[in-house]
Amino acid sequence: MKKLLVAILSLSALLVGVAQAELNNPGGIGGVESLRGASELEDTRPADDFKKYPRDQVIESDYVYQPPLIPHQIRGYEVSLNANKCLACHSWKNAKEMGATKVSVTHYQNREDAVLADVSPRRYFCLQCHVPQADAKPLIQNDFKRVDSLRTE
């Protein structure tokens, strides 16, 4: 009987705690705000406006060894096991005719630095490293300094 009474009291204390938590947190997100803002996961909000991709200017690198940014729109580009739209213009075979930048010679080397006839499988999925340049504000506040700020003259 004593164990049953302790179990009932424990359960009632737990239920009171849950009810109290719901009163203190009516939104249910625990005061945490994501990049989407303070909204429930199930809520749908309007999509952000499309970013502007300036073709007439080149955005400089922000850090050493940064992969070059893509200076054009890539919406609808397929980069999969079956196709790589980037190579239609940027492969060594097509670059001159298309007026595009050639893929770096480093992308034709495997892990042992052997030169391959085609782009190395580890460098085939371009969009893992290269992203379209966009004039977009940072998602969160930060104190990042561009690589130029590190130069000593």
The whole-angstrom separation of Cα 107 and Cα 121 is: 9
In a domain, 140, yes or no: no
In a domain, 34, yes or no: no
Residue 86 marked ligand-binding: yes
Choose among 83, 85, 65, 67: nearest CA to 75: 85
Write down the pLDDT at residue 130.
92
Residue 129 marked ligand-binding: yes
Residue 8 marked ligand-binding: no
In a domain, 4, yes or no: no
Residue 16 marked ligand-binding: no
The whole-angstrom separation of Cα 83 and Cα 54 is: 26
Residue 119 marked ligand-binding: no
In a domain, 75, yes or no: yes
Whole domain around residue 91: which residue ranges? 48-135
Write down the pLDDT at residue 3.
75
Write down the pLDDT at residue 5.
62
In a domain, 111, yes or no: yes
- Domains contained in the chain, number: 1
Write down the pLDDT at residue 21.
46
Q: What is the CATH number of the domain that holds 111?
A: 1.10.1130.10
Choose among 68, 75, 73: nearest CA to 101: 68
In a domain, 143, yes or no: no
In a domain, 20, yes or no: no
Q: Where are the alpha helices (DSSP H) in 91-142?
A: 95-98
pTM of this structure: 0.60
In a domain, 98, yes or no: yes
- C-alpha angle 125/127/133, rounded to 5°? 155
Residue 89 marked ligand-binding: yes
Write down the pLDDT at residue 133.
84
Residue 130 marked ligand-binding: yes
Residue 5 marked ligand-binding: no
pLDDT along the chain (153 residues), means of 10: 68 55 54 67 74 72 84 88 93 92 92 92 92 80 76 63
